[in-house]
Amino acid sequence: MAVRGRGRRTAARAAGAYRRRLPARTRRYATVALLGGSLLLAGCASMPDSGGVHQVPLSEQREDPRARTYAERPEPGASPQRIVSDFLEALRSDDYATVAKAYLTKKARTWTPGETTVLAEAPRVSEQPTPGPKPVNGDRMTTAVVQLSGDKVAWLNDAGTYTPDERVYNLNIELSKEGKSGQWRIVDPPRGLVISRADFERTFQSASTYHFTARSRDTLVADPVYVRRRIDPVTDAVRTLLDGPGGLIGSVTETTFPERTTLARNQRLAVDEEGTLRVRLALETTPGLHTCERMAAQVLHTAESQEGVRVDNVELLTARDTKLCDLSATAGERYAPDRLARHPSSLYFIDAKNRLVRTSSGPDAGEAGPATVISPLGDGKPAIGSAAVARSEKKAAGVTATGRALYVSSLDESSALGEPLLTSGATEAQAERGDGLTAASWDGLGDLWVADRVGGESRLYWMAGGAADPVRIDVTGLEGRIEALRMSAEGARIALVVSEGSESRLVLGAVSVKDGVPVVAQLRDTGALEEVRAVSWAGESRLLVVGRESEGVQQMRLVSTDGSVPPAAELGQGLTGVTSVAAAEDGTKPLVAAVEDGIVRLPQNAYWKAVPGGEGGTAPVYPG
């Protein structure tokens, strides 16, 4: 319950007085920090009755998530350039929806901010020559043009989907002078925010909406989005969920919510004191109980993707408050995005004798060194060059050091190796030049994937259960040759390192099903580095990538599946010559890499250090 009356009015007066005392340029984007321990009362945000008001620089707002930003209305007599600059600042404020429209002409005030343009630096704002005849005989100019320019790096659509897009950015904005007031106002505003990368990270926060796909079955798949910080992120994320996915998995999802389902009006979603999130829906048809439960699971995990949000129970209701169903967090775990990722007990790699070995996956365990697996893949006959371990840790697939044969073997009993499950089409001479089979990868459904490279081409193969005959999989729109691949746990996404000429890039694909066979489509270039060497899944919508920029040094960084790069994502300081990497999808295990001297790992809050017994080792992997 919000605090009303004197406390709120006092704080409002203090904020207004504070802004008036500031210099004009500073107060235009004044930030009010709400101090004291009474920011939250009875589970609802409210104004405190006491505590000071002070300016918080924009650059510090990430450190104080309670800080609120308020825009100023247009300053009388402001120039066209100043009006546009202040309009852009108003769009970054927490009350942008109302204040920003004060900078527009009356006809333009039907405008609704949609997409966001992200520039490397703050946009340059410059007044341009106005086309047409110049005023004469003392007449004054009544129209003006202001240009925004900079280097574009990405954009968000109105659903919050991030897309890398590097190009030069120029946008002309027309203004007119209002007849009665004589003030400049914007005629044709940009479609939404035009913002620097640094301000983007302060203004938006990452979240995910969750959806079902044909391959993931009852396991939810994350679709990363960005929502505004502080304003109403949970409501925004759930509204985006109801609009449907707009990212990588957009073409392979299965509909759970009835068509044209929206949030009922006048809702600001928040978790109450008992941990319940109640959501009223405007529905054209009433879903059955099983469908409603799946809808609630999507809402539960979408809400919990918000930083600091914990939900114990989701309750779905009609617009008239009739209960449809509810779902506890415990019951929602059966749909959890990480349900198939599991928690690996071991780290695996190929030792100096070309044998598959295992060691504890813990940060401080395994000091005694690795042990060979109980499998023909641990005998060194044939010599193994790379391996993939099923998420159950009961099976492993090994590609020979020559790259010409793929074997699958049990890991819990000693057995004969048998015949290869797949033999490369590359000749021995071609394999020596870099052709042959890539390292294999298992999805969480128990299926095995590998690519075969011959000449300038590659073929992707799928083996159901890791035992069925290989089936060639169509990769719609692939340009280049597959050099490496990693499957996500739920089997609905695939990460591909694709080479074309001297360059290699990270490409993501969505996996659908046609006539019982997977199909890879919806390929997206992540824009992550120009010479990608290795990749591993490092979370439900995040990858660990090794590569380099053009003429740059090798880097190791985290990249989201939408192509965005989290702040401080560079992880490879001090490492050179990285040939492969491994990360656990549950995020609880150390990052691991193969370098010239062997296997190294990066425990949390520590430095890279050698894995005992990892000297001369290559191709580290966690199950997957």
Residue 68 has pLDDT above 70, yes or no: no
CA dist 226 and 208 (Å) reads 8
Q: Which amino acid is at 54?
A: H
Query: Which two tokens mark 436?
Result: 């042959």
Residue range 485-490: mean pLDDT, rounded:
96
pLDDT at 71: 74
The total number of residues written for the chain in this structure = 624
Model confidence at 62: pLDDT above 50: no
pLDDT over 90, % of the chain: 62
Both tokens of residue 262? 């929206």
Residue with more model confidence, 233 or 619: 619
What's the pLDDT score for residue 537? 96
pTM of the predicted model over 0.85: no
DSSP string, 101-146: GGGB-TGGGG-----EEEESSPPEEEEEPPSSPPP-TT----EEEE
Per DSSP, the three-state class of 567 is coil
Whether 475 has a pLDDT exceeding 70, the answer reads yes
Mean pLDDT of 154-172: 93
For 243, other C-beta atoms within 10 Å of its C-beta total 16
Is the pLDDT at 52 greater than 60, yes or no? no
Q: What mean pLDDT comes out for the span 281-308?
A: 94
CB contact set of 255 (below 8 Å; sequence gap of 6+): 244
pLDDT one-digit tens code per residue, 1-24: 332 333 333 222 222 222 222 222
Q: With 0-12 CB in 10 A as exposed, 13-18 as middle and 19+ as buried, what is 260?
A: exposed
- Phi-psi map region of 444: left, alpha, beta (phi>0 left; psi -120 to 50 alpha): alpha
CA dist 385 and 355 (Å) reads 8
Range in 2-16, 50-64, 261-275, 334-348 the model is least confident about: 2-16
CB atoms within 10 A of CB 356: 28
The answer to whether domain 75-129+142-192 and domain 210-222+229-335 are alike in fold is no
Is the model more confident about 524 or about 35? Answer: 524
Q: What is the pLDDT of residues 187-229, one digit of tens each?
A: 999 998 999 999 998 889 899 999 998 888 899 999 999 998 8
Alpha carbon of 106 to those of 96, 101, 174, 176, 185: distances in Å? Answer: 17, 9, 14, 11, 9
| C-alpha to C-alpha distance for 598 and 350, rounded to whole angstroms | 10
Distance CA(7)–CA(411), nearest Å, equals 67
The helix or strand, by DSSP H or E, that contains position 517, with its residue range, turns out to be strand 517-525
Determine contact, residues 412/440, Cβ cutoff 8 Å. no
- Strand runs labelled E in 248-355: 253-254, 262-263, 276-282, 313-318, 323-328, 346-350
Question: For residue 483, what is the DSSP state?
Answer: E
The answer to whether the CB of 399 falls within 8 A of the CB of 384 is yes
Q: Which residues are 40's β-sheet partners?
A: 45
pLDDT in tens, 91-125: 888 767 778 899 999 999 988 888 999 999 999 99
Q: Which of 552-561, 570-579, 591-600 has the highest average model confidence (pLDDT)?
A: 591-600
Q: Where are the domains of the chain?
A: 1-70, 75-129+142-192, 210-222+229-335, 346-446+526-621
DSSP E strands in 260-355: the ranges are 262-263, 276-282, 313-318, 323-328, 346-350
Provide the 3-class DSSP secondary structure of residue 467: coil
Q: How confident is the model at residue 548 (pLDDT cuts 50, 70, 90)?
A: confident
Question: Is pLDDT of 545 > 80?
Answer: yes
Query: What's residue 41's pLDDT?
Result: 26
Pairing of strands 116-119, 194-196: parallel
Residue 63 has pLDDT above 70, yes or no: no
Q: What pLDDT shows up at residue 434?
A: 93
Q: What is the pLDDT of residue 38?
A: 29
By the 10 Å C-beta count (0-12 exposed, 13-18 middle, 19+ buried), 346 is classed as buried
- Architecture of the structural domain at 75-129+142-192: Roll (3.10)
> Where does residue 138 rank: exposed (0-12), middle (13-18), buried (19+ CB within 10 A)?
exposed
- CATH no. of 210-222+229-335: 3.30.300
Q: Please, are residues 305 and 208 in contact by the beta-carbon 8 Å criterion?
A: yes
